[in-house]
Amino acid sequence: MRLTPDADAEELRETVRAFLGRHADTEAVFREMADDRGWDPAVWSRFAGELGLAGLDVPEEFGGAGASFREVAVVAEELGRSLVRLPWFATAVLGVGVLLHTDDDAARAELLPALASGETTAALAYREDPRDRDPGRVATTATPDGSGWRLDGTKTLVVEGATADLLLVTARTPEGPGIYAVDAGAPGLVRTPMRAMDPGRQLAGIELSGTLARAVTTPGGAAPILAKVLDRAMAALAAEQLGGAAAALESAVAYARDRIQFGRPIGSFQAIKHRCADMALHVEAARSASAWATAATAEASGELPLAAATAALRCGSAYRYVAAENIQVHGGIGFTWEHPAHLHFRRAATSAVLFGDPAAHRERLLTGLGV
């Protein structure tokens, strides 16, 4: 298993970082927070279409780049550094993930090219009770209706659920839960944005009342696909958390170097040195965990469930710690709304529970280890 990125991945990193530096700097992030949509369609079009970053691991026959999940993780890490809001995670990680793992060739041929080009954005609606640790427990129902299906039920905490063009929804049938595609304009679909701690990651609640849908899996075929997609999501999120933690560390070190107090940079004081050293240790631990999860996903390794749970725990904990310490190093200015330090703190707090809380990841890890 190869854990280190190759030259192509590093070249991609430079390209993505340069693009985000030009089009998604701190000022742009704050502007997006004040906008109703929350992300710039022109930036998304260039990011997904011109750079091809929405379909990196989509096969070329479906309009993608034919790369691997390693390249996907690079983009996730750079977006974590930037904090810009784009529908990339919901589309390129969750939406594409579902279609890559389904055995419905017609659904792949119909839906993947538009996702890979960025023409269509997607969201995965699978969670119904935020307190329920079992993603396979589904109350939403799917009823046959001619050549299609009618869905009835509710979903919550859907990433980019209020703006996505295509919703991939889990719903149960007598044979078990399946996954169904719902167009954003379908009658009977109501989408409600939810107030979230992180303004850069929009969440939504969804209500379906006799909403017309088409199946993208066989009835009862959702469980193994959803398990793989959520592992993929945790690996991508771990890379994003690593990027955010690294950016917060760099911010703290830069401030400690430049801020003068009592005639000396505050980074020369022992208390600040120790804080920065501890932050660096957390970042490097997160880097190792993220590399394992990325490699396991890229190689479809049997280690993926363990690697994903480990990365979720380690990277989530590291990002929360470093983001909080970054505010402490900055002192009073770090607590102000105008400074971006709080954005990393908010992102770290919400990301740590986006696909399950630490207790759930720890339980899954111990179960996988046979403890």
Per-residue pLDDT of 237-264, as tens digits, reads: 999 999 999 999 999 999 999 888 888 8
**Residue 195 clears pLDDT 60, i.e. is over it:** yes
Residues 288 and 337 in one domain: yes
Q: Looking at the domain assignment, is residue 92 inside a domain?
A: yes
Residues 202 and 283 in one domain: no
Residues 285 and 167 in one domain: no
Residues 142 and 233 in one domain: no
Cβ 181 vs Cβ 95: under 8 Å: no
Which helix (H) or strand (E) is 354 found in, with range?
none
CATH number, domain containing residue 157: 2.40.110.10
Residues 116 and 131 in one domain: no
Cβ 149 vs Cβ 215: under 8 Å: yes
Residues 134 and 192 in one domain: yes
Q: What's the one-letter identity of residue 136?
A: G
Residues 235 and 361 in one domain: yes
Task: Give the chain's domain count.
Answer: 3
Residues 233 and 355 in one domain: yes
Give residue for tokens 């929009």: 202
Q: Looking at the domain assignment, is residue 174 inside a domain?
A: yes
Please give the average per-residue pLDDT across 295-315, as a whole number: 96
Q: Looking at the domain assignment, is residue 310 inside a domain?
A: yes
Least confidently predicted of 92-101, 175-184, 334-343:
334-343
Is the torsion defined by CA of 310, 94, 206, 169 positive or negative?
A: negative
**Residue ending a domain, choose from 168, 199, 219:** 219
Residues 104 and 127 in one domain: no
Provide the pLDDT for residue 34: 62
Q: Looking at the domain assignment, is residue 325 inside a domain?
A: yes
Which pair of structure tokens corresponds to residue 231? 């592992």
Q: Looking at the domain assignment, is residue 2 inside a domain?
A: no
The model's pLDDT over 126-183, given as tens digits with 9 standing for 90+, comes to: 999 887 777 778 999 999 998 899 999 999 999 999 999 999 999 999 999 999 999 9
**Residue ending a domain, choose from 190, 219, 248:** 219
**Residue ending a domain, choose from 120, 136, 168:** 120
Residues 142 and 30 in one domain: no
Backbone conformation region of residue 52, classed left if phi is above 0, alpha if psi is from -120 to 50, else beta: left
Residues 15 and 104 in one domain: yes
Q: Looking at the domain assignment, is residue 53 inside a domain?
A: yes
What domain range includes position 280?
223-369
Mean pLDDT, the chain, integer:
92
Residues 89 and 208 in one domain: no
Q: Who has greater pLDDT, 12 or 132?
A: 12
